[in-house]
Amino acid sequence: MQIQSLHDAALAALMLPDPDGKCRATDALLADRRAGRLAVVAGADDPAPVTEPGRPPRPELVAPQAVPMRRAGTREGHAALLHAIAHIEFNAINLALDCVYRFRALPAEFHDGWLAVAAEEAHHFGLVRGRLRALGFDYGDFPAHNGLWEMACKTAGDPLARMALVPRVLEARGLDATPPIMAKLKAIGDRDSVAVLEIILRDEIGHVALGDRWFRVLCAGRGLEPEATYVELIEAFDAPRPRPPLHVEARRAAGFSEAELARFGAPPAGDQRLP
Protein backbone atom coordinates (compact mmCIF):
# COMPACT_ATOMS: atom_id res chain seq x y z
CA MET A 1 0.00 0.00 0.00
CA GLN A 2 1.42 3.36 -1.04
CA ILE A 3 1.30 5.97 1.71
CA GLN A 4 0.97 9.60 0.64
CA SER A 5 1.29 12.92 2.43
CA LEU A 6 -1.88 14.01 4.21
CA HIS A 7 -0.81 17.64 3.70
CA ASP A 8 -0.52 17.34 -0.07
CA ALA A 9 -3.87 15.57 -0.25
CA ALA A 10 -5.49 18.25 1.89
CA LEU A 11 -4.10 20.95 -0.42
CA ALA A 12 -5.54 19.17 -3.45
CA ALA A 13 -8.99 19.10 -1.82
CA LEU A 14 -8.63 22.71 -0.71
CA MET A 15 -8.04 23.83 -4.28
CA LEU A 16 -11.02 22.03 -5.81
CA PRO A 17 -13.53 24.65 -7.02
CA ASP A 18 -16.66 22.48 -7.25
CA PRO A 19 -18.47 22.29 -3.89
CA ASP A 20 -19.72 18.72 -4.43
CA GLY A 21 -16.26 17.60 -5.54
CA LYS A 22 -14.67 19.27 -2.53
CA CYS A 23 -17.11 17.54 -0.18
CA ARG A 24 -16.46 14.15 -1.77
CA ALA A 25 -12.70 14.69 -1.65
CA THR A 26 -12.88 15.68 2.03
CA ASP A 27 -14.83 12.54 2.90
CA ALA A 28 -12.27 10.47 0.96
CA LEU A 29 -9.42 12.18 2.82
CA LEU A 30 -10.87 11.15 6.16
CA ALA A 31 -11.44 7.58 4.99
CA ASP A 32 -7.92 7.31 3.56
CA ARG A 33 -6.35 8.75 6.70
CA ARG A 34 -8.23 6.31 8.93
CA ALA A 35 -7.24 3.44 6.63
CA GLY A 36 -3.56 4.40 6.94
CA ARG A 37 -3.14 5.55 3.35
CA LEU A 38 -2.23 9.13 4.31
CA ALA A 39 0.56 10.13 6.68
CA VAL A 40 1.39 13.26 8.65
CA VAL A 41 4.84 14.32 7.47
CA ALA A 42 6.72 16.19 10.16
CA GLY A 43 8.32 19.38 8.98
CA ALA A 44 8.10 23.14 8.92
CA ASP A 45 4.84 24.93 8.18
CA ASP A 46 4.40 25.80 4.52
CA PRO A 47 5.80 29.30 4.05
CA ALA A 48 3.48 30.26 1.17
CA PRO A 49 -0.12 30.78 2.28
CA VAL A 50 -3.02 29.85 0.02
CA THR A 51 -4.55 33.23 -0.75
CA GLU A 52 -7.34 31.89 -2.99
CA PRO A 53 -8.75 28.44 -2.23
CA GLY A 54 -10.79 26.54 -4.75
CA ARG A 55 -14.29 27.97 -5.00
CA PRO A 56 -17.00 28.14 -7.67
CA PRO A 57 -17.43 31.29 -9.80
CA ARG A 58 -20.56 32.11 -7.82
CA PRO A 59 -21.47 33.44 -5.29
CA GLU A 60 -20.21 36.90 -6.08
CA LEU A 61 -17.99 38.04 -3.20
CA VAL A 62 -18.68 41.56 -1.95
CA ALA A 63 -17.81 43.66 1.09
CA PRO A 64 -19.77 42.62 4.21
CA GLN A 65 -21.74 45.87 4.22
CA ALA A 66 -22.72 45.29 0.58
CA VAL A 67 -24.55 42.03 1.31
CA PRO A 68 -28.25 42.98 1.01
CA MET A 69 -30.43 42.69 4.10
CA ARG A 70 -33.62 40.72 3.49
CA ARG A 71 -36.55 39.80 5.71
CA ALA A 72 -36.71 36.07 6.48
CA GLY A 73 -40.50 36.19 6.06
CA THR A 74 -40.17 36.61 2.29
CA ARG A 75 -39.29 33.74 -0.04
CA GLU A 76 -36.05 35.39 -1.14
CA GLY A 77 -35.18 36.45 2.39
CA HIS A 78 -35.73 32.90 3.64
CA ALA A 79 -33.44 31.54 0.93
CA ALA A 80 -30.83 34.27 1.49
CA LEU A 81 -30.65 33.36 5.17
CA LEU A 82 -29.98 29.71 4.33
CA HIS A 83 -27.52 30.77 1.62
CA ALA A 84 -25.50 32.76 4.17
CA ILE A 85 -25.27 29.65 6.35
CA ALA A 86 -24.26 27.48 3.39
CA HIS A 87 -21.53 29.98 2.53
CA ILE A 88 -20.17 29.84 6.07
CA GLU A 89 -20.11 26.05 5.95
CA PHE A 90 -18.36 25.99 2.57
CA ASN A 91 -15.70 28.37 3.87
CA ALA A 92 -15.37 26.27 7.02
CA ILE A 93 -14.40 23.25 4.88
CA ASN A 94 -11.58 25.29 3.38
CA LEU A 95 -10.50 26.64 6.77
CA ALA A 96 -10.20 23.15 8.26
CA LEU A 97 -8.39 21.76 5.21
CA ASP A 98 -5.97 24.69 5.34
CA CYS A 99 -5.12 23.83 8.95
CA VAL A 100 -4.29 20.27 7.89
CA TYR A 101 -2.22 21.46 4.94
CA ARG A 102 -0.48 24.42 6.50
CA PHE A 103 0.48 23.74 10.10
CA ARG A 104 2.44 20.56 9.54
CA ALA A 105 4.86 21.22 12.39
CA LEU A 106 2.06 20.35 14.83
CA PRO A 107 1.34 16.82 16.05
CA ALA A 108 -0.70 14.26 14.13
CA GLU A 109 -3.51 14.68 16.65
CA PHE A 110 -3.94 18.28 15.47
CA HIS A 111 -4.29 17.22 11.84
CA ASP A 112 -6.65 14.36 12.62
CA GLY A 113 -8.87 16.71 14.60
CA TRP A 114 -9.13 19.31 11.84
CA LEU A 115 -9.59 16.67 9.15
CA ALA A 116 -12.60 15.34 11.08
CA VAL A 117 -13.88 18.93 11.34
CA ALA A 118 -13.53 19.37 7.57
CA ALA A 119 -15.65 16.27 6.98
CA GLU A 120 -18.32 17.51 9.39
CA GLU A 121 -18.36 20.91 7.70
CA ALA A 122 -18.82 19.17 4.33
CA HIS A 123 -21.79 17.30 5.80
CA HIS A 124 -23.25 20.56 7.12
CA PHE A 125 -22.84 22.22 3.73
CA GLY A 126 -24.73 19.39 2.06
CA LEU A 127 -27.56 19.60 4.57
CA VAL A 128 -28.00 23.36 4.18
CA ARG A 129 -27.66 23.20 0.41
CA GLY A 130 -30.40 20.59 0.39
CA ARG A 131 -32.72 22.95 2.26
CA LEU A 132 -31.78 25.78 -0.12
CA ARG A 133 -32.60 23.61 -3.14
CA ALA A 134 -35.92 22.63 -1.56
CA LEU A 135 -36.83 26.34 -1.75
CA GLY A 136 -35.92 26.49 -5.45
CA PHE A 137 -32.51 28.14 -4.99
CA ASP A 138 -28.90 26.95 -4.90
CA TYR A 139 -25.53 27.91 -3.53
CA GLY A 140 -24.24 30.87 -5.53
CA ASP A 141 -27.62 32.53 -6.08
CA PHE A 142 -26.92 35.37 -3.61
CA PRO A 143 -23.85 37.55 -3.00
CA ALA A 144 -21.66 36.75 0.01
CA HIS A 145 -18.60 38.13 1.76
CA ASN A 146 -15.16 36.63 2.29
CA GLY A 147 -14.49 37.55 5.93
CA LEU A 148 -13.74 34.04 7.17
CA TRP A 149 -11.13 33.33 4.52
CA GLU A 150 -9.60 36.78 4.87
CA MET A 151 -8.92 36.00 8.53
CA ALA A 152 -7.36 32.70 7.49
CA CYS A 153 -4.96 34.63 5.27
CA LYS A 154 -4.10 37.07 8.07
CA THR A 155 -3.30 34.21 10.47
CA ALA A 156 -1.56 31.90 7.98
CA GLY A 157 1.83 32.50 9.59
CA ASP A 158 0.90 31.55 13.14
CA PRO A 159 -1.25 28.61 14.30
CA LEU A 160 -1.79 30.29 17.69
CA ALA A 161 -3.37 33.32 16.04
CA ARG A 162 -5.40 31.03 13.75
CA MET A 163 -6.80 29.05 16.69
CA ALA A 164 -7.61 32.24 18.60
CA LEU A 165 -9.23 34.22 15.82
CA VAL A 166 -10.98 31.67 13.63
CA PRO A 167 -12.47 29.05 16.00
CA ARG A 168 -12.53 31.18 19.16
CA VAL A 169 -13.71 34.44 17.55
CA LEU A 170 -15.39 33.94 14.19
CA GLU A 171 -16.78 30.43 14.63
CA ALA A 172 -17.77 31.17 18.23
CA ARG A 173 -19.88 34.04 16.86
CA GLY A 174 -21.83 31.35 15.03
CA LEU A 175 -22.67 29.74 18.38
CA ASP A 176 -24.19 33.06 19.45
CA ALA A 177 -26.01 33.66 16.18
CA THR A 178 -27.59 30.23 15.74
CA PRO A 179 -30.40 30.42 18.35
CA PRO A 180 -31.80 33.70 16.93
CA ILE A 181 -31.64 32.25 13.41
CA MET A 182 -33.46 29.14 14.60
CA ALA A 183 -36.12 31.38 16.13
CA LYS A 184 -36.61 33.16 12.78
CA LEU A 185 -36.95 29.85 10.96
CA LYS A 186 -39.42 28.53 13.53
CA ALA A 187 -41.46 31.71 13.13
CA ILE A 188 -41.90 31.06 9.41
CA GLY A 189 -42.58 27.35 9.92
CA ASP A 190 -39.32 25.93 8.52
CA ARG A 191 -38.88 23.09 11.00
CA ASP A 192 -36.67 21.10 8.62
CA SER A 193 -34.04 23.85 8.54
CA VAL A 194 -34.28 24.20 12.32
CA ALA A 195 -33.42 20.49 12.60
CA VAL A 196 -30.37 21.04 10.36
CA LEU A 197 -29.21 23.95 12.54
CA GLU A 198 -29.56 21.80 15.65
CA ILE A 199 -27.05 19.38 14.11
CA ILE A 200 -24.73 22.22 13.11
CA LEU A 201 -24.86 23.84 16.55
CA ARG A 202 -24.06 20.54 18.26
CA ASP A 203 -21.06 19.92 16.01
CA GLU A 204 -19.82 23.51 16.02
CA ILE A 205 -19.46 23.45 19.80
CA GLY A 206 -16.95 20.65 19.25
CA HIS A 207 -15.16 22.59 16.52
CA VAL A 208 -14.75 25.67 18.71
CA ALA A 209 -13.65 23.39 21.56
CA LEU A 210 -10.95 21.90 19.34
CA GLY A 211 -9.69 25.39 18.53
CA ASP A 212 -9.81 26.30 22.22
CA ARG A 213 -7.80 23.23 23.15
CA TRP A 214 -5.02 23.89 20.63
CA PHE A 215 -4.99 27.60 21.42
CA ARG A 216 -4.30 26.77 25.06
CA VAL A 217 -1.71 24.12 24.14
CA LEU A 218 0.13 26.62 21.94
CA CYS A 219 -0.05 29.32 24.62
CA ALA A 220 1.42 26.90 27.17
CA GLY A 221 4.25 26.03 24.78
CA ARG A 222 5.14 29.73 24.49
CA GLY A 223 4.66 30.57 28.16
CA LEU A 224 1.66 32.82 27.46
CA GLU A 225 -1.41 33.38 29.61
CA PRO A 226 -4.26 32.30 27.29
CA GLU A 227 -7.04 34.72 28.17
CA ALA A 228 -4.87 37.84 28.10
CA THR A 229 -3.29 36.64 24.86
CA TYR A 230 -6.74 36.16 23.34
CA VAL A 231 -7.68 39.79 23.96
CA GLU A 232 -4.30 40.99 22.70
CA LEU A 233 -4.71 39.03 19.45
CA ILE A 234 -8.24 40.35 18.89
CA GLU A 235 -6.86 43.88 19.16
CA ALA A 236 -3.70 43.20 17.12
CA PHE A 237 -5.62 41.68 14.21
CA ASP A 238 -8.62 44.01 14.48
CA ALA A 239 -10.90 41.00 14.90
CA PRO A 240 -14.51 41.47 16.02
CA ARG A 241 -14.74 41.48 19.80
CA PRO A 242 -17.35 39.05 21.19
CA ARG A 243 -20.50 40.98 22.08
CA PRO A 244 -23.68 39.98 23.89
CA PRO A 245 -26.03 38.31 23.64
CA LEU A 246 -23.67 35.36 23.93
CA HIS A 247 -24.77 31.74 23.85
CA VAL A 248 -23.09 31.20 27.20
CA GLU A 249 -23.94 27.53 27.56
CA ALA A 250 -22.44 26.71 24.16
CA ARG A 251 -19.38 28.84 24.86
CA ARG A 252 -18.85 27.16 28.23
CA ALA A 253 -19.08 23.76 26.57
CA ALA A 254 -16.50 24.92 24.01
CA GLY A 255 -13.99 25.91 26.71
CA PHE A 256 -14.58 29.59 27.46
CA SER A 257 -14.04 30.36 31.14
CA GLU A 258 -16.39 32.27 33.41
CA ALA A 259 -13.87 35.12 33.52
CA GLU A 260 -13.83 35.36 29.72
CA LEU A 261 -17.60 35.25 29.48
CA ALA A 262 -17.91 37.98 32.10
CA ARG A 263 -15.31 40.09 30.27
CA PHE A 264 -17.46 40.02 27.15
CA GLY A 265 -20.72 40.85 28.89
CA ALA A 266 -22.29 37.52 29.81
CA PRO A 267 -24.32 37.36 33.03
CA PRO A 268 -22.78 35.33 35.85
CA ALA A 269 -23.20 31.57 36.13
CA GLY A 270 -26.59 30.68 37.59
CA ASP A 271 -28.28 33.83 36.31
CA GLN A 272 -31.73 32.97 35.00
CA ARG A 273 -31.22 35.14 31.92
CA LEU A 274 -28.82 32.60 30.40
CA PRO A 275 -30.06 31.17 27.09
Is 15 a domain residue? no
224-232 contacts, C-beta under 8 A, 24 or more apart:
224/160, 227/257, 227/259, 227/260, 227/263, 229/160, 229/164, 230/164, 230/168, 230/260, 231/263
pLDDT of res. 269 = 64
Helix pair angle (226-236, 191-222), 10° resolution? 110
Beta bridge partners of 39: 5
The total domain count for the chain is 1
Is the pLDDT at 275 greater than 80, yes or no?
no
What global pTM score does this model have? 0.94
Beta bridge partners of 4: 38
Give the rounded distance of the alpha carbon of 118 from its chain centre.
9
Is 18 a domain residue? no
CB neighbours of residue 49 within 10 Å: 14
Is 96 a domain residue? yes
Is the pLDDT at 95 greater than 50, yes or no?
yes
Is the pLDDT at 271 greater than 60, yes or no?
no
Mean pLDDT (the chain) is: 94
With bands split at pLDDT 50, 70 and 90, how would you rate the model's confidence at 2? confident
CB neighbours of residue 78 within 10 Å: 22
Is the pLDDT at 144 greater than 50, yes or no?
yes
- Cβ contacts of 268 within 8 Å, gap of 6 or more: 258, 262
Provide the domain limits for residue 151.
71-263
pLDDT of res. 273 = 45
Is 13 a domain residue? no
| pLDDT one-digit tens code per residue, 59-86 | 999 988 888 888 888 999 999 999 999 9
| pLDDT one-digit tens code per residue, 113-135 | 999 999 999 999 999 999 999 99
CATH number of the domain to which 165 belongs: 1.20.1260.10
Is 1 a domain residue? no
CA distance 161 to 271: 32
Is 31 a domain residue? no
Least confident of 10-14, 38-42, 161-165, 189-193: 38-42
| pLDDT one-digit tens code per residue, 230-266 | 999 999 999 999 999 999 999 999 999 999 999 998 7
Report in angstroms the alpha-carbon separations of 259 from 4, 148, 219, 251, 262: 44, 26, 17, 12, 5
CA distance 112 to 59: 30
Question: Residue range 163-182: average pLDDT?
Answer: 97
